[in-house]
Amino acid sequence: MNRPGDDALPPPGGASSPPGGDGRGAGRVQLHCLVLRALVWAAGTAVLLVAMPPDYRAGPVMPLLAVLLGLLTAADPDGGWVPATQAVTVVAWLLTTLVYGYAPSPAMGLLIGLLLYLHHGMAAIAARIPASARVPATLLAPWLARTGAVTVASAAVCLALAAITGAAGSAVPAAVAVVLGAAGALTLARVLRDAAR
């Protein structure tokens, strides 16, 4: 299954040699690869913290677990920690809205969706590029452009829905709002995947 950004990237190791083919510095960890993995950690940690109930964020245990899960996804972006973190995020958001009774807001749903998208996309790139690879800026430009387009489109859709529903949105039960939001997120992911082919 392709992840966001897979189509714009070479096979693993394909960008590890600098121009000239001398292999110099091939075993050296590149700064931009470390920054990319740091962003994977930051996005994974942030989305868990945003999705969990506020009471959980107040204590030290759950934030530390969020940090740990984020570190695991950054250390092994091609393993099972990335989908596990996203599944935990969805469960935490459902607990926040359905069990603890916090009303889901369009802004919060947009933020969680964007963080999940960024985390998934950056993990896909980190998994395809070795830590010693020298990646030209032109290789990341298509992914950055697509990410910006998704961000703008998501914000526009969220604002439009909020304006259309208006006060009627408060009458929608939390369970229904969560189901509709999840369906919308899955639909958007399918559209993006088909558009990337």
Average of pLDDT values for 6-10? 52
Provide the mean pLDDT of the chain. Answer: 74
Given pLDDT bands bounded at 50, 70 and 90, which one contains residue 146? confident
Q: Which residues contact 147 (CB under 8 A, 6 or more apart)?
A: 4, 117, 118, 121
Determine if the pTM surpasses 0.75: no
Average of pLDDT values for 102-112? 77
pLDDT at 41: 95
Domain coordinates in residue numbering, the chain = 22-196
Check residue 90 and report its DSSP letter: H
Q: Is the pLDDT of residue 17 over 60?
A: no
Q: Between the CA of residue 74 and those of 37, 59, 95, 176, 194, what are the distances in Å?
A: 5, 24, 25, 34, 27
In which residue are the tokens 């960008």 written?
A: 15
Given pLDDT bands bounded at 50, 70 and 90, which one contains residue 55? confident
Nearest by Cα to 114 from 148, 70, 142, 165: 148
